[in-house]
């Protein structure tokens, strides 16, 4: 979603802004723009192309203070006039991430007062509103604070004024924003990755904070306008972790990073002899004693991780579990159970609906909250009492891969800890599970070796328009995730069904043009799945079977077999999902889509 970068320095900031935008591209965008202040004038350049095009257009521009933006359209089509920064009277320039809910009312009022709007966005009202206060003689900081007090909705903003080349104002509420601290230069950005080329020292703004940033320092004011200190963090992200290296796409790189990501996520646990609740936070043991059910809230791929966890939690830990899509839960009238542990799952920790769902759960009186998240300083982690950090490293590809498998690893740990605490895990079983977890990274390596075979299989999908994914039990959510990956990046319409539902509808769609991808694991449901697959073959459907060792599937006419290296028991979903990630990746490659930045999608969905 929208990305913001801003800079004030003694050097020309245009290259810093452009490089920052490039590093924010992964969030998803459809247009981009920048403003610099030079000779008391705003110089604005915008483009509906890629950041590379903006770079070409900016060749002759320079300045020592500026703000820039990648836009993901919400209000108003993707076009140059709707791209940020938005200006008011060529005096105030604003970049905005979020949604201003009362923009129509403000627009009507400001238009009546003489403001001239030139875009269809909600964001433009912010520029005119700030200008209306600035024109009354307020400082840029005070004018911005006054304007923010009138906004309803979510925002992260950066503001500059043509007649004030020494200050950049920024603020956040509901959308992420941080400050970058350099030596006599300062920056603002939506995430730390944009700043890595210039600084690793960052300050995370809190909800409602407004900051005045200048060459030599910055001042932060909280929602009540009180001056506050916020700690400076040294980011552990390395520049190298953001680079593509030998891979063609970030998605491919991230698929291959999974053995390491899993090893890193499980590191503390696998080195110890037994599992303790403390891995979820100091107060976890006491909280877990009190909980009698689990409520998982998440969106997209993270929601699929929750669906897998439900099978584990109920079967291994014997604890009732419900899994809900965050955007549904937050608006549904539900019956709260204060003895439920509310588990939110998110790669970014900034997904608007997941954050809102957590706040909703808290407002309903749920005291026990745990987040499983990949970004340590994210809003989600800060809002939850307990947390577990997946250590997948930065995930750039819009389609989530390593974040998903590390979430699964974390959820499996949660299952084991709860099972142990509830007396359902013998010492012997605990050791067996720990052994399986230690083996996981090498099991994943073996799946990655299937890459050339899966690439070959993918060639058969190039002319397909639809696909059906089947799984049963623990692997039904993996079928869902496989279908999601395929549709996200190859634009092939894909649906997933629990195989037992085949006869209740989707079988009507099966013919020779409908590939059916089956997750065939060597477990108690294998024979039932085989019968379901016979039903597909009998209707001329082409089968693509990802089969565990020992399942005795054979390739034959209309049956294409992908032999998985082993059966990983409870951890099998992690292995199967990686095979399906590779399938989606190679189908997308065949189709020539923009794998890392699929159309219309955003990595970080910071608006609802």
> Which positions are catalytic?
2, 603
Burial profile 344-371: b = 16 or more Cβ within 10 angstroms, e = fewer? bbbbbbbbbbbbbbbebbeebebebbbb
What is d(CA 255, CA 546) in angstroms, rounded to the nearest whole number?
A: 18
398 interacts with ligand G6P by CB under 6 A: yes
Q: Which stretch binds ligand G6P (CB under 6 A): 6-14, 141-149, 237-245, 347-355?
A: 347-355
Least CB distance to ligand G6P at residue 368 (A)? 20
User: Does the protein bind ligand G6P through residue 354 (CB under 6 A)?
Assistant: yes
Binding to ligand G6P by CB under 6 A, coded x per residue (else -) over 287-316, reads: ------------xxxx--------------
Closest of 226, 367, 225, 229 to residue 287, by C-alpha: 367
Angstrom distance (rounded) from CA 598 to CA 595:
6
Rounded to a whole number, what is the distance in angstroms from the first to the last CA of the chain?
A: 11
The dihedral built from the CA positions of residue 243, 248, 251 and 254, taken in this order, carries a sign that is negative
Tell me how far, at minimum, the Cβ of 357 lies from ligand G6P, in Å.
Answer: 10
Smallest distance from ligand G6P to CB 4, Å? 18
Our CB check for ligand G6P shows the closer of 186 and 576 to be: 576
* 601 contributes a contact to ligand G6P by CB under 6 A: yes
Nearer to ligand G6P, 32 or 602 (CB): 602
- Binding segment for ligand G6P (CB under 6 A), chosen from 74-82, 200-208, 393-401, 563-571, is 393-401
Q: Min. distance of Cβ 237 from ligand G6P in angstroms?
A: 16
Q: How far is the C-alpha of 461 from the C-alpha of 490, rounded, in Å?
A: 10
Q: Which stretch binds ligand G6P (CB under 6 A): 98-106, 125-133, 187-195, 598-606?
A: 598-606
Residues 6+ apart with CB under 8 A from 551: 520, 521, 522, 526, 567
Question: Quick check: 137 and 162 in contact, CB under 8 A?
Answer: no
User: Per CB under 6 A, which of residues 10..39 are in contact with ligand G6P?
Assistant: none
How far apart are alpha carbons 184 and 211 in whole angstroms? 16
Minimum distance, C-beta of residue 399 to ligand G6P, in the bound complex (Å): 6
Residue 348: CB minimum distance to ligand G6P, A: 3
- What residue is closest to ligand G6P based on CB? 300
> Among residues 256 and 603, whose Cβ is nearest to ligand G6P?
603
Sheet strand arrangement including 466-471:
493-498, 466-471, 515-520, 542-547, 559-563
Give residue for tokens 């689990």.
294
For residue 427 the two structure tokens come to 């010492």
The 242-281 contact track toward ligand G6P, x by CB under 6 A, reads ----------------------------------------
DSSP assignment of 135-159: TTT--HHHHHHHHHTT--EEEEEEE
Taking the C-alpha atoms of residue 39 and residue 29, their distance in angstroms, rounded to an integer, is 31
Least distance between ligand G6P and beta carbon 304 (Å): 8
* Number of Cβ within a 10 Å radius of residue 164: 18
Q: Which is nearer to ligand G6P, 403 or 418 (CB)?
A: 403
Residue 455 main-chain phi, psi, to 5 deg? -60, -40
Interface with ligand G6P by CB under 6 A: which range of 59-67, 282-290, 382-390, 599-607? 599-607
Supply the minimum distance, in Å, between the C-beta of residue 520 and ligand G6P.
Answer: 25
Comparing CB distances to ligand G6P, the nearer of 44 and 603 is 603
The answer to the question of residue 577 lying near ligand G6P (CB under 6 A) is: no
* Binder of ligand G6P out of 19, 82, 123, 346 (CB under 6 A): 346
Q: Looking at beta carbons only, is 4 or 169 nearer to ligand G6P?
A: 4
Give least dist CB 607 to ligand G6P, A: 11
Cβ count near 215 (within 10 Å): 18
Smallest distance, ligand G6P to C-beta of residue 303, A: 8
Residue placing its CB nearer to ligand G6P in the complex, 179 or 399: 399
Q: Torsion angle of alpha carbons 242, 26, 22, 10, nearest 10°?
A: -80
How many CB atoms lie under 10 A from the CB of residue 463? 10
Q: Does 405 bind ligand G6P (CB under 6 A)?
A: no
Q: Which of 47, 603, 606, 607 binds ligand G6P (CB under 6 A)?
A: 603
Binding segment toward ligand G6P, per CB under 6 A, in 202-210, 398-406, 556-564, 581-589: 398-406
Nearer to ligand G6P by Cβ, of 161 and 251: the residue is 251
- When asked if residue 348 is in the footprint of ligand G6P (CB under 6 A), the reply is yes
Encoded tokens for 123:
């964001």
Residue count, binding to ligand G6P (CB under 6 A): 15
For residue 479, give the H/E element and its range. helix 476-490
Compare residues 398 and 536 and give the one whose CB is closer to ligand G6P: 398
Q: Which of 461, 468, 454 is nearest to 583 (CA)?
A: 454
Q: Is residue 351 close enough to count as binding ligand G6P by CB under 6 A? A: yes
- Choosing from 347, 421, 490, 577, the residue that interacts with ligand G6P (CB under 6 A) is 347
- Under rule CB under 6 A, residue 400 binds ligand G6P: yes
Task: Give 463's contacts (C-beta < 8 A, 6+ positions apart).
Answer: none
**Contact between residue 400 and residue 256 where contact means Cβ atoms under 8 Å apart:** no
Binding segment toward ligand G6P, per CB under 6 A, in 397-405, 421-429, 453-461, 521-529: 397-405
Between 115 and 606, CB nearer to ligand G6P: 606
For the stretch 589-598, what's the b/e string if a residue is b when 16 or more beta carbons lie within 10 angstroms of its beta carbon? Answer: bbbebebbbb
Contact set with ligand G6P (CB under 6 A): 299-302, 346-348, 351, 354, 398-400, 601, 603, 605
């Amino acid at each position: 979603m929208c990305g913001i970068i801003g800079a004030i320095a003694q050097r020309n900031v245009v290259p810093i802004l452009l490089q920052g935008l490039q590093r924010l591209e992964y969030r998803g965008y459809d247009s981009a723009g920048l403003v610099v202040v030079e000779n008391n004038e705003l110089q604005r350049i915008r483009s509906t192309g890629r950041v590379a095009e903006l770079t070409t257009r900016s060749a002759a521009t320079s300045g020592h203070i500026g703000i820039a933006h990648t836009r993901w359209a919400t209000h108003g089509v993707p076009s140059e006039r709707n791209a940020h920064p938005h200006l008011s009277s060529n005096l105030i320039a604003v970049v905005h991430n979020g949604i201003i809910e009362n923009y129509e009312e403000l627009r009507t009022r400001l238009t009546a007062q003489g403001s001239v709007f030139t875009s269809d966005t909600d964001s433009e009202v912010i520029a005119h509103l700030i200008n209306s206060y600035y024109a009354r003689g307020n400082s840029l900081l005070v004018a911005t604070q006054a304007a923010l007090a009138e906004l309803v909705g979510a925002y992260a903003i950066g503001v500059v004024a043509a007649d004030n080349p020494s200050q950049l104002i920024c603020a956040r509420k509901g959308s992420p924003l941080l400050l970058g601290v350099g030596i006599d230069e300062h920056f603002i950005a939506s995430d730390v990755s944009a700043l890595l080329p210039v600084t690793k020292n960052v300050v995370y703004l809190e909800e409602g904070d407004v900051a005045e940033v200048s060459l030599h320092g910055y001042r932060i004011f909280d929602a009540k306008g009180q001056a506050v200190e916020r700690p400076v963090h040294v980011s552990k992200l390395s520049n190298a972790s953001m680079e593509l290296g030998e891979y063609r796409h970030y998605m491919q790189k991230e698929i291959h990073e999974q053995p390491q990501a899993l090893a890193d996520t499980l590191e503390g646990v696998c080195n110890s002899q037994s599992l303790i609740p403390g891995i979820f936070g100091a107060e976890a043991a006491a909280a877990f004693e009190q909980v009698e059910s689990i409520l998982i809230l998440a969106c997209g791929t993270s929601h699929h991780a929750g669906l897998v966890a439900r099978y584990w939690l109920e079967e291994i830990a014997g604890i009732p579990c419900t899994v809900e899509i965050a955007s549904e839960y937050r608006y549904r009238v539900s019956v709260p159970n204060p003895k439920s542990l509310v588990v939110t799952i998110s790669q970014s920790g900034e997904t608007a609906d997941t954050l809102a769902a957590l706040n909703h759960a808290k407002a309903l009186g749920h005291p026990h909250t745990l987040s499983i998240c990949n970004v340590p300083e994210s809003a989600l982690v800060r809002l939850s009492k307990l947390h577990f950090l997946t250590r997948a490293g930065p995930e750039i590809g819009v389609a989530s891969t390593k974040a998903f498998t590390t979430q699964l690893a974390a959820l499996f740990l949660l299952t084991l800890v709860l099972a142990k605490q509830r007396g359902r895990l013998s010492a012997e079983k605990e050791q067996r599970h720990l052994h399986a977890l230690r083996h996981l990274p090498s099991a994943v390596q073996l799946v990655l070796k299937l890459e050339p075979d899966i690439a070959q299989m993918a060639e058969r999908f190039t002319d397909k328009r639809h696909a059906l994914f089947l799984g049963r039990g623990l692997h039904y959510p993996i079928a869902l995730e496989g279908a999601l990956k395929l549709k996200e990046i190859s634009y092939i319409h894909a649906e997933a069904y629990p195989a037992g539902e085949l006869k209740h509808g989707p079988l009507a769609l099966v013919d020779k043009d409908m590939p059916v991808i089956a997750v065939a694991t060597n477990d108690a449901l294998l024979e039932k799945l085989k019968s379901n697959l016979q039903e597909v073959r009998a209707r001329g459907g082409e089968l693509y079977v990802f089969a565990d060792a020992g399942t005795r599937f054979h390739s034959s006419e209309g049956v294409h077999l992908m032999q998985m290296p082993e059966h990983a028991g409870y951890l099998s979903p992690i292995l199967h999902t990686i095979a399906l990630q590779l399938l989606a990746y190679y189908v997308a490659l065949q189709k020539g889509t923009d794998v890392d930045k699929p159309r219309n999608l955003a990595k970080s969905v910071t608006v609802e």
